[in-house]
């Protein structure tokens, strides 16, 4: 399986995301923000960082990068897309996901190993988790407060579209302790914590993040074997 990782000017975690993709058993393909080309990938990761310096609003300018036209078309067509941190902000700015991410309620950058509960395993990126699993994944953001209007929050909760929730502490003021959400189809997931930083025991708090990448690899493999049988 080929998983593309987009590099924007100011992306920081594209290399870690590509490494996580390889550890999960897929081929990592570097995608460039300025190309109208997904290079034949079967899934896309929008990595963390500070695309375009976070100027204007986080993700506001990256949304209009040339490659995003292809990413949006592919996402609408059902291709798995995972936005991590700045990638989550970009997905909200493109309106592939509802709501928005605003400055942390305490106004400070936060960097910590964060406990999360996986609330939905029916997405392309979380199917390898046990429902309700509690995991530890690094979180690092200045503008990670998830906000949406009441009707949107009710829909997210009612339709089971909250993918991950902060437990023990809410690090950034996110409404309903939301750490990640999915679209209705479950192929597009936005996540504020960084699973790509929790894929090897040597660095980071453990390997709890690996299942995000393993999920998409195993569901793709299952679909492939179904198609060839």
Binding site residues, another protein, CB under 8 A: 56-57, 60-61, 64, 92-93, 95, 98-100, 102-107, 145, 147-149, 173
Least spacing, CB of residue 146 vs another protein, in Å:
11
Nearer to another protein, 63 or 117 (CB): 63
Nearer to another protein, 94 or 215 (CB): 94
Residue tagged active-site, from 85, 92, 93, 197: 85
DSSP 18-32: HHHHHHTTSEEEEEE
- Is position 143 annotated as part of the catalytic site? no
Nearer to another protein, 104 or 136 (CB): 104
Find all residues with CB under 8 Å of 97, minimum gap 6, and list them.
83, 88, 91, 181, 182, 183, 188, 190
Question: Cα separation of 26 and 13, whole Å?
Answer: 17
Least spacing, CB of residue 160 vs another protein, in Å:
21
Least spacing, CB of residue 142 vs another protein, in Å:
10
- Is position 27 annotated as part of the catalytic site? no
- Report residue 220 as tokens: 């793709």
Number of neighbours of residue 102 by Cβ within 10 angstroms: 17
Query: Which residues does the annotation mark as catalytic?
Result: 85, 194, 196
């Amino acid at each position: 399986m080929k998983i593309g990782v987009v590099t924007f000017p100011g992306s920081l975690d594209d290399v870690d995301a590509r490494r996580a993709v390889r550890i999960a058993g897929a081929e990592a393909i570097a995608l460039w923000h300025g190309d109208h080309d997904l290079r034949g990938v079967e899934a896309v990761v929008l990595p963390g960082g500070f695309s375009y310096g976070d100027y204007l609003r986080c993700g506001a300018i990256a949304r209009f990068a040339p490659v995003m036209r292809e990413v949006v078309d592919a996402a609408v067509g059902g291709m798995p897309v995972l936005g991590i941190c700045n990638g989550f902000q970009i997905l909200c700015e493109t309106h592939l996901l509802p709501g928005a991410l605003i400055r942390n309620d305490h106004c400070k950058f936060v960097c910590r190993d964060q406990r999360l509960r996986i609330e939905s395993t029916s997405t392309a990126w979380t199917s390898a988790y046990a429902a309700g699993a509690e995991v530890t994944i690094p979180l690092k953001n200045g503008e990670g407060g998830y906000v949406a209007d009441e009707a949107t929050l009710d829909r997210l909760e009612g339709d089971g579209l909250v993918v991950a929730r902060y437990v023990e502490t809410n690090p950034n003021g996110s409404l309903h302790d939301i750490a990640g959400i999915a679209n209705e189809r479950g192929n597009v997931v936005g996540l504020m914590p960084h699973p790509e930083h929790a894929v090897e025991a040597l660095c980071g708090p453990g390997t709890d993040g690996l299942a995000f990448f393993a999920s998409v690899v195993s569901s793709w493999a299952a679909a492939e074997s179904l198609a060839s049988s």
